[in-house]
Structure 1
Amino acid sequence: MKLTVLVPSYRRPDDLARCLKALQQQVRPADQVVVVVRPDDYVTHTVLAEPGVTGALPLECVIVEAKGLVAALNLGLEKSAGDVIAITDDDAAPHRDWLQRIEAAFAAEPKLGALGGRDWVHERGRLLDGRREDVGRILLTGKIIGNHHLGVGGAREVDLLKGVNMSYRRAAIHDIRFDERLRGSGAQVHNDMAFSMRVKRAGWKVMYDPQVAVDHFPAPRIGEDQRHTQSAISICNAAYNLHLTLREYLPPMQRMLAWWWWTLVGTRVYPGLVHPLLALVSKNGATVRERWRAARLGAHEARKVTP
């Protein structure tokens, strides 16, 4: 079995250097490492030219002209030759046994199409060390349970994976690509969710094993899709991507339930109607209402695309 590691990168030279050094230390070395970069990303090209960073890695630098993570991932898939393609972010450092565990899992289960694992998040000088059994599921209501960064327990089937740590069997994705309809100028939020759900709908097993682990050092994002300071446009884009994915891959009855749950209840990130109503007497009421309007606009625009 040949293993390809795919790493899209944009203007994070120090993070990418850490990632590539972690890949050099793998117990089971990669057969191919594909790093996708933009032509004007000179700092990243400089890092890739340093022998101390790339070492003996079987590295291939792929140039992508188009903006956004989806274009980079899709071009990276086209250039990947492995039987299994392991995807991680440039701000992650896979554990030494990462590829070894990935290879063992795919070799043991012929119907395994996708495998994800825990990303140990290092944020603001501390490690987020919680414990969650419930990971990577979509409830009947359409509510999403993530928790990939907190998962404990054994390997199990899930509904969706997280982009920083996900691997795919080539046979499962030979005619599947990341959705180019997704909005955003950078991260294009929920691209990982859409891709893994599509693999599962095709009949392959999608599994999560917290022992297949990476350390994750969330770096600032380039573009409008910021992590902690979301604008109205970024909320609208993310809500559009979320609803486009749910409407595309959920069965009809669950899709209807999901639409009403997100319309009426929602979450803090994508508020439903209850949130601005409860915030009428709150000091941050205006902010909640702005988030609600942006989230509903994205949802309605997604509904026009997938009636």
Structure 2
Amino acid sequence: MVRLSVVIPALNDSAMLEGCLAALSAQSRPADEIIVVDNGSSDDTRDVALRWGATIVDQPIRGIFPASAAGFDSASGDIVLRLDADSVPSRDWVERVESAFAGDPQLDFLSGPGRFYGSNRTVHWMAENLYIGGYIWFVGLLLGHPPLFGSNLAFRADAWRRVRTSVHSDLREIHDDLDLAIHLEPTMTVRFDRTLVVGVSARPFKSFAGFRRRIRWAFGTLGLNWRERSLLDRRRERRAIEHAQRSL
């Protein structure tokens, strides 16, 4: 049977983590392994993780990508699912992810959007339609394939092993999902399922500073990778391969 591992990076986020792990415990298809990556927490994150039966992986190097990568490397599953500590998956989330990969042996990466909670309707609408909607449109146009959203992400373990030495998993101030999306091999298959929705906290949008930091990290991630190799070159390479495959 296919094993599924869920990876959750966490830093001083025990209250949110409690909700995430509670939602995972109620899944129609339970995960075979849940890994909480402690990124140096000083609160009771570890106690919460252990109470819900999760495995703890320590990553003292601060940053979302160092923490996520440590979890990916430690996962024993054939399919790795990634949530943030404030993600709240629906009851059938793990089951739907498993079904998607079982139904498409060529699928390497699967992602979906977030439905924001914890603020007012205006903030939720702007976060879902302008921030996430803009990200989906822009990254898809720039890279020539659907984007990845780290709060709601799944991939084959062997796909991670193929790209893990290319990504910038040692850097702190970048978006791990965007960096990972940029470094996917041109033959890898990506699907963004708009119906595969998880709850995501709107707290980053409660302050201008939080929103500005996200935008700064996004442009920093793009700039870093563009200096190494034009993203348009990556897009052209993927399109050329897709065209050749359609011509067979």
TM-score normalised by length of structure 2: 0.78
Question: What are the superposed Cα offsets for residues 130-166 of structure 1, whole Å, 9 maximum, x if unpaired?
Answer: 7799973447984x8xxxxxxxxxxxx9431111001
Q: Is residue 2:177 matched to residue 1:197?
A: no
* The one of 192, 197, 220 aligned to 1:240: 220
Cα shift at 1:110: 1.1
Question: What are the superposed Cα offsets for residues 248-302 of structure 1, whole Å, 9 maximum, x if unpaired?
Answer: 46243979xxxxxxxxxxxxxxxxxxxxxxxxxxxxxxxxxxxxxxxxxxxxxxx
In structure 2, relative to structure 1, the CA distance for the partners of 1:219 and 1:131 (3 Å cut) is closer
Which residue does the alignment assign to 2:69?
Answer: 74
Cα shift at 1:193: 1.3
| Higher helix proportion | 2
Checking the alignment, whether the CA contact within 8 Å between 2:124 and 2:202 is kept in structure 1 is no
Question: Residues of 2 paired with 1:180 and 1:35: CA distance?
Answer: 17
* The one of 180, 203, 206 aligned to 2:169: 180
Structure with larger Rg:
1
In structure 2, relative to structure 1, the CA distance for the partners of 1:78 and 1:68 (3 Å cut) is same
Cα shift at 1:118: 2.0
TM-score normalised by length of structure 1: 0.64
Which residue does the alignment assign to 1:31?
Answer: 32
Question: Partner amino acid for 1:115?
Answer: L
Cα shift at 1:28: 0.6
Question: Residues of 2 paired with 1:140 and 1:206: CA distance?
Answer: 11
Where does 1:133-282 land on structure 2 (aligned, <5 Å)?
136-138=136-138, 142=142, 158-177=145-164, 178-180=167-169, 182-184=171-173, 188=174, 190-199=175-184, 201-220=185-204, 227-230=210-213, 237-247=217-227, 248=229, 250-252=231-233
In structure 2, relative to structure 1, the CA distance for the partners of 1:46 and 1:105 (3 Å cut) is same
Which residue does the alignment assign to 1:128?
Answer: 124
Q: Is residue 2:85 matched to residue 1:90?
A: yes
Greater relative CO (CA pairs within 8 A, separation 6+): 2
What percent identity do the matched residue pairs reach?
27
* Aligned-pair Cα RMSD in Å: 3.2
Checking the alignment, whether the CA contact within 8 Å between 1:26 and 1:97 is kept in structure 2 is yes
Question: Residues of 1 paired with 2:210 and 2:10: CA distance?
Answer: 17
| Count of residue correspondences | 225
Query: Which ranges of structure 1 fall in alignment gaps of 5 or more residues?
Result: 145-156, 256-307
In structure 2, relative to structure 1, the CA distance for the partners of 1:209 and 1:134 (3 Å cut) is farther
Question: Residues of 2 paired with 1:141 and 1:192: CA distance?
Answer: 16
Checking the alignment, whether the CA contact within 8 Å between 1:118 and 1:212 is kept in structure 2 is yes
Question: Partner amino acid for 1:111?
Answer: Q
Question: Partner amino acid for 1:214?
Answer: V
Aligned residue for 1:173, secondary structure, equals helix
Which residue does the alignment assign to 1:4?
Answer: 5
Cα shift at 1:191: 1.8
Question: Residues of 2 paired with 1:243 and 1:47: CA distance?
Answer: 37
Cα shift at 1:182: 4.1
